[in-house]
Amino acid sequence: MNPIRHIYVHIPFCARICPYCAFYKDLLDRSQTWRFSEALLRDLDQECATFALSTETIYFGGGTPTALTTSQLEFLLGGFHRRLDLSSLAECTIEANPGSVSARKAALLRKLGVTRVSLGVQSWNDELLKVLGREHNSHQAEESFHILRTAGFANISVDLMFGLPGQTIEQWKFTLEKTIALQPDHISAYCLTYEEDTEFFMRHARGELRQDTDADAAFFEMAMSVLEEAGYEQYEISNYAHPGFASVHNRAYWLGKDFLGIGPSAFSTIGMQRWQNVCDYRSYADRVLCGQSPRGFSENLTNEMKRSERIALSLRMREGIAGSELKHFGRETEELISLGLLRKSNGNFLLTRKGRNLADSVAEAFL
Ligand code: SF4
């Protein structure tokens, strides 16, 4: 088996729970974070004993990884350095929330080999940040961005959201322009979705919040135009980067490469096997610290499942999907081309600009 090159680490703690968030997370409990950090390293030990690793990318996501203290981050990242051969490491990303970034923490992360920070700004409008239940305001977000640059981070992503309750197209334009003015190297822009088991989902079901697909399409159109005009290449439907700054880790995931997940709720896909660790950080730590496996759900993948995923993910990328992958879908492909949603270029099929707005429906045609 080839060595695994991509590692995702899930740190579920958040200082406050956002009402739209469907990720596995829990309120920050300082009495648990040391034990949890030890469990992550023990989990890594178990996986190192099972799989050959030749780490090219590591992604610390959450939750809010920067909710850990500087000593805990030092312990954790130092532990990764001691356990892994990082001589081929191309990218080490950490997600950060404005408000949990201090100059001391930023300097430490640089020292510990983090090369990329994904900063969860979401909006530069304070009213909308309150609607989203975020703990930061736009001033803190800007300060955090400058702190990261001053600490020497040459690869910063700003994460944005659109389609927010009450958001106007002018507010979205302002958010895009303000982001561009800061010159981050990468920008993610996701449409708000109403996910089950969230407060927003309940409010949506009660009719208090509603999704306006026409407005969402207009926000998306604006993001594509404004960001491309500013020199950001849309290398994936929701991700834009200056040349050379596409996320290596996320591209590996979208290209269907194997990856190993460490931490509660983290997914791993290796060969034809996929599993998810338990979605509860206390039982995750209990299991790992007494030498048991943290795996909860697991499944065997079929070639059919892998192909459907590959089609859906590749279609979202700028280079599209190889024609050979769609050879059994001649009728569907022709139909999508005649609808102006798909086009062919150098043997690959790519979404058109119109198709990018309907990417999920296009992918469904190949299920
Ligand atoms: S900070 Fe991020 S992970 Fe935490 S609740 Fe908010 S959106 Fe979810």
Instruction: Specify whether 331 is located in the same domain as 183.
Output: no
Residue 293 covered by a domain: no
Residue 309 covered by a domain: no
Instruction: Specify whether 345 is located in the same domain as 223.
Output: no
Instruction: Specify whether 88 is located in the same domain as 237.
Output: yes
Instruction: Specify whether 335 is located in the same domain as 204.
Output: no
Q: What is the pLDDT of residue 352?
A: 95
Residue 366 covered by a domain: no
Instruction: Specify whether 330 is located in the same domain as 207.
Output: no
The protein residue with its alpha carbon nearest to ligand 1, atom 7, reads: 21
Boundary-marking domain end, from 222, 254, 286 = 254
Domain that holds residue 339: 322-353
Q: How many A from CA of 50 to the centre of ligand 1?
A: 32
The protein residue with its alpha carbon nearest to ligand 1, atom 6, reads: 18
- Using the structure block, give the residue that is written with the tokens 């909860």: 296
Substitution candidate for ligand 1 out of 13, 17, 21 with most atoms within 8 A of CB: 21
The protein residue with its alpha carbon nearest to ligand 1, atom 8, reads: 21
Q: What is the pLDDT along the chain (367 residues), one digit of tens a residue?
A: 789 999 999 999 999 999 999 999 999 999 999 999 999 999 999 999 999 999 999 999 999 999 999 999 999 999 999 999 999 999 999 999 998 899 999 999 999 999 999 999 999 999 999 999 999 999 999 999 999 999 999 999 999 999 999 999 999 999 999 999 999 999 999 999 999 999 999 999 999 999 999 999 999 999 999 999 999 999 999 999 999 999 999 999 999 999 999 999 999 999 999 999 999 999 999 999 999 999 999 999 999 999 999 999 999 999 999 999 998 899 999 999 999 999 999 999 999 999 999 998 999 998 8
Q: What residues flank ligand 1, with Cβ below 6 Å?
A: 14, 17-18, 21, 23, 25, 62-64, 97, 120
Q: What is the pLDDT of residue 195?
A: 95
Answer whether 58's CB lies under 8 Å from 9's CB.
yes
Total-model pTM? 0.96
Answer whether 210's CB lies under 8 Å from 261's CB.
no
Q: Which two tokens stand for residue 276?
A: 């998810």
Q: Which residues of 223-236 are buried (b: 16+ CB within 10 A; e: fewer)?
A: bbebbeebebbbbb
Q: How distant, in Å, are the alpha carbons of 175, 228, 317, 359 from that of 247?
A: 22, 17, 12, 20
Give dist(CA 113, CA 89) in Å, integer: 9
Number of domains in the chain: 2
Give dist(CA 118, CA 289) in Å, integer: 30
Catalogue the E-assigned strands of the chain: 4-11, 13-14, 26-27, 53-62, 91-96, 116-122, 156-162, 186-191, 233-236, 239-241, 260-262, 267-270, 273-277, 295-300, 321-322, 342-345, 348-351
Q: What is the pLDDT of residue 110?
A: 97
Rounded to whole angstroms, the maximal C-alpha distance in the chain is: 59
What is the residue type of 140? Answer: Q
Sign of CA dihedral 345, 349, 351, 355: positive
Among candidate residues 278, 274, 254, the one with its CA nearest the CA of residue 265: 278
Among candidate residues 135, 2, 118, the one with its CA nearest the CA of residue 65: 118
**HSE-up of residue 67 (Cα within 13 Å, Cβ side):** 27
Residue 39 covered by a domain: yes
Give dist(CA 273, CA 305) in Å, integer: 11
Q: What is the pLDDT of residue 241?
A: 98
Residue 302 covered by a domain: no
Q: How many A from CA of 127 to the centre of ligand 1?
A: 18
Substitution candidate for ligand 1 out of 64, 118, 188, 192 with most atoms within 8 A of CB: 64
Boundary-marking domain end, from 254, 279, 303 = 254
Phi-psi region of 63 (alpha: psi -120 to 50; beta: other; left: phi over 0): left
Q: What is the pLDDT of residue 286?
A: 98
Q: What is the pLDDT of residue 315?
A: 94
